[in-house]
Structure 1
Amino acid sequence: MSADRQEQQQDPQPTQKKQEKTEKQKNLYEPYVTPRPLYELLRVIAIVVLHLIARIRIRGRYNIPRKGPYIIVSNHLSWTDVPLVPLHVPGRVVYMAKEELFYSKLGWLVRFLGAFPVKRNWADRQAIRAAGEQLQKGKVFVIFPEGTRSKSRALGKAFNGLGMIALRAGVPVLPVAIWGSENVLKKFGAEVTISYGEPLHLKPKGAKMTREDIEEATETVMLKIAEMLPPQYRGYYGDQPPVVKES
């Protein structure tokens, strides 16, 4: 048997595995839908447990829209931010989470929470498309645009995917500032403050969205979050003008 013929017989298996891997990755972008009774039960349990182990103060609850679609954008200090930030948000939420989590031991939990992956090192158009699809379905979309937790507590520079998603979807953006959550797992009764700002309505300057529009939209949201945070948490956006105008 010739080497070429042997190679042809061996090719289908790697190709099939590659197709299966691609299909699996594609499915990750469709968030798992937890049955509503179970979702509401877990929601109540989360509220009770978090209020038992921490002293949670909520500011600006009246700014939370009653229903989607809209985008929640928050700074990120601890994995406890995932349940804390949308704690009192009515309805279901979906998350964008770093791709690495989906292939870790906690991958099943990340999926169960209704998250889909994003590649952080470059513009992940598939993730941006998935976010838009969820917003078209009327979902509430939660994003932590720094891409990772801040170990120093300081607000880091955001990825511009935030601005692209917001401008493409044309839905309100709810800026959220959270602090104290970095102590929840270290100290019983830690004080946590969650501040919800007024929804922002972001639009491109012209008929066509530009890179400048995307960068400006991202900065507008992050400056608003920085404005709501205590000075020691403002980090990258701390030396920026505190007043933010909606575009």
Structure 2
Amino acid sequence: MRLKDKIAVVTGGGRGIGRGITEQLLNQGAKVVIAQRQPLDEALSENPNIAFVSADLTDVKAPYLIAQSAEEIFGGVDILVNNAGFMFERSLDDMSEQEWDDMMAVNMRAPVFLAKAMLKSMRQRGGGSIVNIGSIEGIGANPWHSAYCGSKAGVHGFTRALAIDLGKENIRCNAIAPGWINSDLSNDYIDAQENPTQAKKDLLNLHPIGRTGEPSDIGSTVVFLASEDSAFITGQVLVVDGGRTAKLSLPF
């Protein structure tokens, strides 16, 4: 197992993409601290290799609480996965300053200061791996997503900056930019379209690989970036989107 005896912190690790990340880390021998607001379901809460920290990432104290809990429960941190985030659709005309600030607090500020909070432990343990979950919307854009796109482009930017600053301490920092990943929320979005069957067909046609993504696809990529298999990789944004952003659109 590639991550035997490693300790990982995963924000939002109990559902959706986060759950896929948690499951893949566990499969490779890691212990996982899940930090999120929602309590864990029974399957996760009964796993002895999982610890739960109730945390609201809009609280500036949350990163340090999470780091302290990981130290007390498992003895430190080797891997930080900044997965938690949220999205809303809003035109600039309709968006308030508070909505913008809320987005940046969770999607950008929390990952930066979670990394800060974990540095002491990573240094004591001889290094570590920080994996930030960005988005293909940090590269391109969808309508009414200016706040979300801005936050994810910021995630990509500070990923590169942290890699430069921390590399000499054997702490690597990379980001993953997922494309469309199947989840309850994304499925609900498709089902809400006027013709869900056609919407699903059109969505699949965007993907050269012939399918949309699964949370396990992101989880497997996290395992790679967290392990020694990627020891010479840092400061990178790895797009995991089934080829969607590589495909040029045609009008027919």
TM-score by length of 1: 0.40
